[in-house]
Amino acid sequence: MDIFLQQVINGLVQGSIYALVALGYTMVYGIIELVNFAHGEVVMVGALVSLSVIERLVSRGYTGWPLIVISVLVAIPTCIALGLGIERVAYRPLRRAPRLAPLISAIGVSIALQQIAALIWGRNYLHYPDILPKTQYLIGGAVISQVQVVILLSAAVLMAALWVLVQRTRLGRAMRATAQNPAVAGLMGVDVNRIIATTFVVGSALAAVAGTLIGAYYQVGNHTMGFLLGLKAFTAAVLGGIGSLGGAMAGGLLLGVIENLGAGYMGKLTDGAVGSNYSDVFAFLMLVLVLIFRPSGLLGERGVEKV
Amino acid sequence: MSRLSQALCLSIATLALMACSKPDGPAASGDLVVKIGTSNPLTGPQAHLGKDNENGTRMAIDDANAKGITIGGRKVHFELVSEDDAADPKTGTIVAQKFVDMQVAGVIGHLNSGTTIPASRIYADAGIPQIAASATNPKYTHQGFKTAFRVIPNDTKQGLELGKFAVGKLGAKTVAIIDDTTQYGQGLANQFEEAAKAAGITVVTHEHTDDHATDFRAILTNVKAKAPDLIFYGGMDSQSGPMMKQIKALGVTSKFLTGDGGCSVEFITLSGADGEGAYCSMPGMPVEKMPLGPDFKQRFNAKYGEIQDYAPYCYDATNALINAMQKADSIDPAKYLPVLKTIAFQGVTTNVQFDDNGDIQGGVITVFKIHDGKLSAQETLGGQQ
């Protein structure tokens, strides 16, 4: 078995989930310069909604991938509604307030969502039924499961679609314009409020997909699952250069791989002095190093086209 | 802020308030009110265990109130004060200080060793008796505090017995150890490692994760490369459940053994079919075989649903406090604390009697195997009760 390859595959899968979530952070930051700390919670809601749908349908005899597709089709509109609601209630009223105010309200929304989810789904860990085939493929001595392949593929397709949306469509042009200068974009006939809302719609839809994929992958859900994930994804966004789409994708994948290699090889490299429990430390150390030499992140540049 | 958002915030705040208030039944005027504190993680990954502990304590208090106990000639109304320490050592000490300020008569908990040990100093300074019902790190009762008691056998015993079990019954020659770097998880893993080495097992690797992790593939890939006969995990069910799935997904064929933190209904639910054949241990006996277990189980199930883990121990811990108060005929900690060392009564889990350190006397460890989605008791170890 090739351990290195196995660690990289695991890292890429974990990283593509980080990337999907990181895109939500980076898009919102790019347009209104707000770190949307409630984004991790939107992912959590997506995961739990899709779990509820799966549970309902499993008891009626449905199974396999179609079930995941149905559940994601329910989770997406729920998360979009949630994302829009958060923007409308917690951020829009504070758009002209000092920058700290929306940040605090973002943290508030995050805590409120966790507690509401705890009221709806309870505090226990929720278990996803075994509905997916456990097919595995061998690549050069490493094992990759069907779920992992689907996660990699769907993340790649979604990221490519987002790239086309932002770079090639009228809507994307309006988004890029708003990111550069909302006031001027408004004068040029762009409905800024609508564009900001659209950003939340796209981010939340990606969050819903990420939530469903996480559920299918780890088969466990809980009202607190969004917090750490949000933090990691935010780290990935900063690592890649917050505000930059390509940066979020690269940052996410990189963080996933670094974490896995860190956990896998740290003990060996330091002869047991520093063990696998330091994999997060390793990841954050990389972040610090990147920020020292490239303060705006790997792919972020000053004056970069943000969205 | 718009009117809509104001209304929304208000309703959320009201909801939150409603969720917090827990009416405990009114105390008739003239009754002596005795506050008993319990601190558990009621939020976060271990909230299900925290709620279980709270319910065990609550049931003992409800029973005592129903009995109508009198102390010092006055009718006593026990009141439960339940706090959330989020399994976080820092929050645990804040809760402890709060209990001291409220002048509670005694404390049940905390749930985790990581919160219990730092909090125990605060209770010791204030002279408030503390009885742990689920914290199994040996250190807790070995700090020289007169206020620290425990109704569950500690990890020195558990680690030792599991080490012997791994060799004797599982025939393991090599083992990979994983822990969650908490006082409990790492403590148990280290005790096990010592016992395993003493029994002649080779420890091929000792990996670490944390108590919030969900992805263990990196460390499991390392473990797989070493192909051990057995994987031992020191940690809680919220990690070992998903870990079990990932072990199977990576095609690791080693046997799996874990301690009391993973010996719960939750572990079976979370690991699903992949949990079949895993071994876990619980201090004490299976609920059905406890002296008063069947009756307790029936009443608990009717009131709160399935027992997760430690509810019977919390029930006994609470009764130990009440028992000592009755025997001393006082609710003053200074008066009933010395009596606590001398009590002996038939609890749900065992005959409750403390040794000089404040640990429960006797004490056995039971090993379970997951079979057909149920915990099936394999054997009870270290039994000279």
As for the ipTM of the complex, it is 0.81
Q: Do B218 and A279 touch (CB under 8 A)?
A: yes
Residue A127, SS3 per DSSP: strand
Average pLDDT, chain B: 88
* Res B186: pLDDT: 92
* Res A139: pLDDT: 86
Instruction: Name the residue facing B221 among A3, A130, A267 (closest C-beta).
Output: A3
User: What is B27-153+290-352's CATH number?
Assistant: 3.40.50.2300
Average pLDDT, chain A: 89
Q: How do strand B70-71 and strand B74-84 relate by DSSP bridges?
A: antiparallel
From A49-63, A92-106, A256-270, B326-340, the region with the lowest mean pLDDT: A256-270
Q: Which residue of A has its CA nearest to B15?
A: A116
* Res A297: pLDDT: 86
**What distance in Å separates residue B17's CA from the closest CA in chain A?**
12
* Res A153: pLDDT: 96
pLDDT in tens, B83-142: 999 999 999 999 999 999 999 999 998 999 999 999 999 999 999 999 999 998 999 999
Put simply, whether B17 touches A (Cβ < 8 Å) is no
**What distance in Å separates residue B282's CA from the closest CA in chain A?**
21
Return the CATH class of domain A3-293. mainly alpha
Report for A261-270, B249-258, B355-364: range of highest mean pLDDT: B249-258
Higher per-residue confidence, A61 vs A151: A151
What amino acid occupies position A42? Answer: V
Pick the CATH number of B155-283+365-381 from 3.40.50.880, 3.40.50.2300, 3.75.10.20, 1.20.120.1630: 3.40.50.2300
pLDDT at B161 over 70: yes
pLDDT at A93 over 50: yes
pLDDT at B384 over 80: no
Helical H segments across chain A, by residue range: 3-32, 39-58, 65-86, 100-121, 146-168, 170-180, 182-187, 192-218, 225-240, 245-269, 279-293
From A141-145, A187-191, A296-300, the region with the lowest mean pLDDT: A296-300
- Report the C-alpha gap between B345 and B329 in whole angstroms: 16
From A62-71, A246-255, A270-279, the region with the lowest mean pLDDT: A270-279
Q: Do A264 and B219 touch (CB under 8 A)?
A: yes
Q: Which residues of A touch B207 (CB under 8 A)?
A: 267, 275-276
pLDDT in tens, B282-299: 888 888 888 899 999 999
From A298-307, B94-103, B171-180, B316-325, the region with the lowest mean pLDDT: A298-307
- Report the C-alpha gap between B45 and B39 in whole angstroms: 15
What is the band of A91 on the pLDDT scale with cuts at 50, 70, 90? very high
- Report the C-alpha gap between A24 and A95 in whole angstroms: 18
Q: Would you kindly state where each structural domain of chain B is located, as residue ranges?
A: 27-153+290-352, 155-283+365-381
Put simply, whether A3 touches B (Cβ < 8 Å) is yes
What is the band of B11 on the pLDDT scale with cuts at 50, 70, 90? low
**What distance in Å separates residue B247's CA from the closest CA in chain A?**
12
* Res A134: pLDDT: 84
Instruction: Name the residue facing A14 among B19, B215, B250 (closest C-beta).
Output: B215
Lookup result for tokens 């969900």? B214
Burial group, residue B203, by CB count within 10 angstroms (0-12, 13-18, 19+): middle
Which percentage of chain A shows pLDDT scores above 70? Answer: 96
pLDDT at B361 over 50: yes
- Report the C-alpha gap between B327 and B339 in whole angstroms: 7
- Report the C-alpha gap between B55 and B53 in whole angstroms: 5
Put simply, whether B2 touches A (Cβ < 8 Å) is yes
Which percentage of chain B shows pLDDT scores above 90? Answer: 64
The residue among A88, A98, A104, A99 whose CA lies nearest residue A37 is A104
From B24-28, B48-52, B248-252, the region with the lowest mean pLDDT: B24-28
Lookup result for tokens 């094992």? A143
**What distance in Å separates residue A302's CA from the closest CA in chain B?**
34
Put simply, whether A218 touches B (Cβ < 8 Å) is yes
* Res B19: pLDDT: 46
Q: Do A220 and B210 touch (CB under 8 A)?
A: no
* Res B282: pLDDT: 86
Q: Do A134 and B249 touch (CB under 8 A)?
A: yes
Q: Which residue of B has its CA nearest to A143?
A: B250
